Amino acid sequence: MSLRILRESVGKTQSDVAREASMTQPQLSRVERRRDHLISTVRKYVRAMGGDIEVVVRIDGRVIVLRDV
């Protein structure tokens, strides 16, 4: 799911999320169009919608949740 679709699925506008993330709407628009994101940027974006993220690694059938990333 893209960031834009995620935002739309929770009923938020770019302006809503930008305001909560201390960004401008054009900055948020650029974030949504990128194909490569910093984890810190995605975390800021998701927290602005009231959520949080987990980073999960799958190696050889094992599932590992990374902390402090």
- Topology of the domain comprising 3-66: 434 Repressor (Amino-terminal Domain) (1.10.260)
pLDDT tens across 20-58, in order? Answer: 999 999 999 999 999 999 999 999 999 999 999 999 999
Residues in the chain: 69
Helices and strands in the chain, H and E counts: 4, 2
Give the up-direction half-sphere exposure of residue 46: CA atoms within 13 A in the CB hemisphere.
15
Q: Residue 25 and residue 44: Cα distance in Å, rounded?
A: 14
The pTM (predicted TM-score) of the whole model is 0.86
